[in-house]
Amino acid sequence: MAIPKVMGTEIEYGITVKNDRDFDPISSCVLLVNSYREESTTKILWDYDQENPLADARGFQVEGEKYTPNQQENIARNKTLANGARYYVDHAHPEYSCPEVTNARDLVIHEKAGERIVEQSRRDANRVLPPGTQMLIYKNNSDRKGNSYGSHENYLMDRRTSFKQIVEHLMPFFVTRQIYSGAGKVGSENRAHPCEYQLSQRADFFETEVALDTMVKRPIINTRDEPHADREKYRRLHVIVGDANMSEFTIWLRNGLTALVLAMIEDGAVDRDLSFRDPVRAIKEISHDASCRREVEMQSGRRRSAVQVQREYLEMARRYVATREVAAEVKDLIVEWERVLDALERDPMELRGEIDWIIKRALIEGFMERKGVDWGSPQVQMLDLQYHDLRPDKGLYYILERQGRVRRVVTDEEIERAVLYPPEDTRAYFRGGCLRRYGTQVFGVNWDSISFGIGDEPIKRVMMIEPLKGSKQHVEALFNSSPTAAELVRNLRS
């Protein structure tokens, strides 16, 4: 029986400072992150001791050194928030990692909360910039100079499922899901074959099938084996193949269907060989075909379109859910999956209010028709970027949202609450609750631990290796009986 698919996302945002000839992305990121203030969490360290980014899921340790910043740099680059999230500087990008959630709808809420937190910190950062300059943030994946930055998904899996089996059954799904999860992009990059418009912002940057790296020779399937949970029971599948999406419906479909397919793999319900002869080539060919009709060579010698491959997964999913009890959301996802595939087969533009790459394409084509310009126009390139602008009054996606031209999945009230509060059904509730109640006594935090500095006593580390423990149901009574951190630690150990 597949384990619950606890999930989360990590979004690296594009950053620039307009009219700053000496723009330094790292110092700008530090300013941005530190402009977001929660008084109880300003001096808490991120606990790097519990991390091991060099462990490979194929069963070995990669050579290299783990980077650990000093205390001052740690505080400057990291914020653990009372909503259970981590907001920090990753290389030359601001990154927001949402708290752990148990379903795709909550994922949408908390990822969208991240957008609002980043935008709030951008506005606050601009107040201290020199006159005439302005910080701009984009939720996209490319700077148009050959650099790509990630939008990563994470899913809890059963360690007993062999990684080889995960790769075999997941590769064709990842190669083809971009037909509904792509963010859309004008032109190509990274020496890929030229095209006017493509489905995915990331597809051109994948150069190998399976590997540990995320920045060079990017793999379709990443092998990082850093579970942030009980290592004997769990693995965390670290997915780097996705785009940064703006559409709530696209995010919901992307994460919900991926979680479903992973559960199917764990339960042995993916029973067909859908392997591509050359997945790296296939992911680019599919991305470059906005008609969604191009057929790609399979390992068997057949040629299939991405829609046809996705239909195979859909058929297996239907059989899977018919034999067990599943959440109502899973049933909704399957209905929407079929509807989306049908529309993509007929005419992708039927989905111009729902799927990111199609929303953006419809917007750009309307502009080109009105202005009499083509795909090579600098104005078209600017529209592509402006779709991802986090400014509510300038970002084209947000303008469409206000006009009611894109489909919503969640409410503004739910998003605003998630800016302040963690989900209630994972350990994020305990993490966020500790920060809110005992923030001045929290010394360090990681996904699977929290440490308290209580007076002159040694640091007290509380482990949180079970992602579904620490929920409101588990710990609300504990919080109510523990007015101080010292009492909390005592109560936990009694």
Residue 256: φ, ψ to 5°: -65, -45
What's the one-letter identity of residue 393?
Answer: D
Q: What does the alpha-carbon distance between residue 327 and residue 453 come to, in Å, rounded to a whole number?
A: 41
Contact 162, 10 (CB under 8 A): no
Say how far apart CA 56 and CA 212 lie, in whole Å: 7
For residue 222, list its beta bridge partners. 211
Spatial strand order of the sheet with 449-452 comes to 45-46, 442-446, 449-452, 460-463
Distances, alpha carbon 464 to alpha carbons 129, 237, 430, in Å: 40, 19, 9
Judge contact between 439 and 400, C-beta under 8 A: no
Q: Which is it for strands 60-61 and 55-56: parallel, antiparallel or unpaired?
A: antiparallel
How far is residue 295's CA from residue 306's CA, in Å, rounded to a whole number? 7
Residue 326 CA to residue 319 CA, distance in Å, equals 12
Q: Where are the alpha helices (DSSP H) in 267-305?
A: 279-287
Distance separating alpha carbons of residues 323 and 330, to the nearest angstrom: 13
Output phi, psi for 144, to 5 deg. Answer: 65, 15
Using CB atoms within 10 Å of the CB of residue 467, give its burial: 0 to 12 exposed, 13 to 18 middle, 19+ buried: buried
Q: CA triplet 69, 70, 76: central angle to 5 degrees?
A: 80
- Helix, strand or coil, per DSSP, at residue 371: helix
Catalytic residue (choose from 90, 124, 158, 267): 90
Helices (H) and strands (E) in the chain, counts: 16, 20
Q: What is the four-CA torsion angle of 150, 155, 158, 159, rounded to 10 degrees?
A: 20
The DSSP line for 79-115 is EE-TTS-EEEEETTEEEEEPPPBSSHHHHHHHHHHHH
What is the b/e burial string over 158-187, where b = at least 16 CB atoms within 10 angstroms of the residue's CB?
Answer: bbebebeebbebbbbbbbbbbbbbbbbbbb
Strand partners, 382: none
Which residues are CB-contacts of 62 (< 8 A; sequence separation ≥ 6)?
Answer: 54, 55, 56, 212
Residue 22 a catalytic site member = no
For tokens 């597949």, what's the residue? Answer: 2
Residues identified as active-site = 90
